[in-house]
Structure 1
Amino acid sequence: MCCAVVLAFAFGCVGVEAEETRAAFRPCIDPSNLPFANTQGEGFENRIADLFAKKLGLPVQAYAFPQRMNFIRNTLRYKLPGEDFRCDIVMSLPAGFDQALTTAPYYRSTYALVYPKGKGLDQVKSGGDLLALSADRRSKLTIGIHDKSPASIWLVKHGMEAQAKPYQMMSPDPDQYPGQIIEKDLAQGKIDAAVVWGPIAGYYAKRVRDVELVVVPLRSEPGVKFDYAIAMGVRYGEREWKETVEKLIVENQSTITGILREYGVPLVNERGEPM
Structure 2
Amino acid sequence: MLSRVVASVAVLAVITANVASAEETPAGEPLKVCADPYMLPFSNEAGAGYENKIAELFATKLGKTLEYEWFPQRQGFIRNTLRAEDDDGKFKCDLVMSVPDHFELAATTEPYYASTYYLVIAKGRGLDDVSTPEMLGKVVADGRPAKIAVADQGPGQLWVFRNNLMGNMVPYVGQSGDPKVNPGETIMRDIASGTVDVSVVWGPTAGYYAGVLAKEAQFILLPLRNDPEYPDMPLEYNMSMAVRHGEKEWLATVNNLLRENAADIEKIMKGLNIPLIPVTKRAEQDDD
Report the TM-score range of the alignment, normalised by the length of the smaller protein: 0.7 to 0.9
Cα distance in 1, alignment partners of residues 179 and 244 from structure 2: 28
Amino acid at match of 1:225: P
Cα distance in 1, alignment partners of residues 143 and 66 from structure 2: 51
Cα distance in 1, alignment partners of residues 84 and 180 from structure 2: 25
Cα distance in 2, alignment partners of residues 89 and 249 from structure 1: 13
Q: What's the CA shift string for 1:102-123, capped at 9, x where partnerless? A: 1011100000111222222222
| Structure 1, unaligned runs of 5 or more | 1-13
- C-alpha displacement of 1:133: 2.2
Q: Which of 200, 203, 222 pairs up with 1:198?
A: 203
Structure 1 pair 20–200 and aligned structure 2 pair: CA distance change class (3 A): closer
For the 8 Å contact 2:148–2:196, the answer to whether it is kept is yes
Cα distance in 2, alignment partners of residues 249 and 265 from structure 1: 17
For the 8 Å contact 2:109–2:242, the answer to whether it is kept is yes
2:276 — aligned with what?
A: 267
Q: TM-score under structure 2 normalisation?
A: 0.84
CA-based RMSD of the aligned residues comes to 1.9
For the 8 Å contact 1:30–1:65, the answer to whether it is kept is yes
Q: TM-score under structure 1 normalisation?
A: 0.87
For the 8 Å contact 1:127–1:219, the answer to whether it is kept is no
For the 8 Å contact 1:146–1:196, the answer to whether it is kept is no
Amino acid at match of 2:148: I
**Sequence identity (%):** 41
Q: What's the CA shift string for 1:5-47, capped at 9, x where partnerless? A: xxxxxxxxx9994545251111100011111001111111000
- C-alpha displacement of 1:166: 2.2
Amino acid at match of 2:186: Q
Work out whether 1:58 is the aligned partner of 2:64.
yes
Cα distance in 2, alignment partners of residues 31 and 253 from structure 1: 25
Q: Which of 139, 149, 165 pairs up with 1:133?
A: 139
1:92 — aligned with what?
A: 98
For the 8 Å contact 2:40–2:48, the answer to whether it is kept is yes
Question: Secondary structure at the residue paired with 2:73?
Answer: coil
For the 8 Å contact 1:108–1:267, the answer to whether it is kept is yes
2:253 — aligned with what?
A: 244
Q: Which of 226, 236, 239 pairs up with 1:227?
A: 236
Question: Secondary structure at the residue paired with 2:193?
Answer: coil
| Structure 2, unaligned runs of 5 or more | 1-16, 281-288
- C-alpha displacement of 1:270: 4.6
1:118 — aligned with what?
A: 124
- C-alpha displacement of 1:137: 3.2
1:6 — aligned with what?
A: none
Cα distance in 2, alignment partners of residues 73 and 38 from structure 1: 20
Question: Secondary structure at the residue paired with 1:62?
Answer: strand
Cα distance in 2, alignment partners of residues 198 and 263 from structure 1: 12
Stretch of structure 1 that moved more, 20-29 or 43-52: 20-29
Cα distance in 1, alignment partners of residues 271 and 254 from structure 2: 22
For the 8 Å contact 2:119–2:201, the answer to whether it is kept is yes
Question: Secondary structure at the residue paired with 2:65?
Answer: coil
Cα distance in 2, alignment partners of residues 195 and 102 from structure 1: 27
Q: What's the CA shift string for 1:235-274, capped at 9, x where partnerless? A: 0110100000000000111111111111221111257xxx
1:168 — aligned with what?
A: 173
Q: Which runs of 4+ in 1 moved over 6 A?
A: none
- C-alpha displacement of 1:216: 1.6
For the 8 Å contact 2:97–2:241, the answer to whether it is kept is yes
Cα distance in 2, alignment partners of residues 130 and 231 from structure 1: 32
Q: Which structure has the larger Rg?
A: 2
Structure 1 pair 75–247 and aligned structure 2 pair: CA distance change class (3 A): same
Work out whether 1:108 is the aligned partner of 2:142.
no
Cα distance in 2, alignment partners of residues 41 and 270 from structure 1: 26
Cα distance in 2, alignment partners of residues 137 and 262 from structure 1: 39
Cα distance in 1, alignment partners of residues 65 and 220 from structure 2: 38
Question: Secondary structure at the residue paired with 1:141?
Answer: coil
Q: What's the CA shift string for 1:46-85, capped at 9, x where partnerless? A: 0000001101111101110112211000000001564201
Cα distance in 1, alignment partners of residues 178 and 25 from structure 2: 40
1:186 — aligned with what?
A: 191
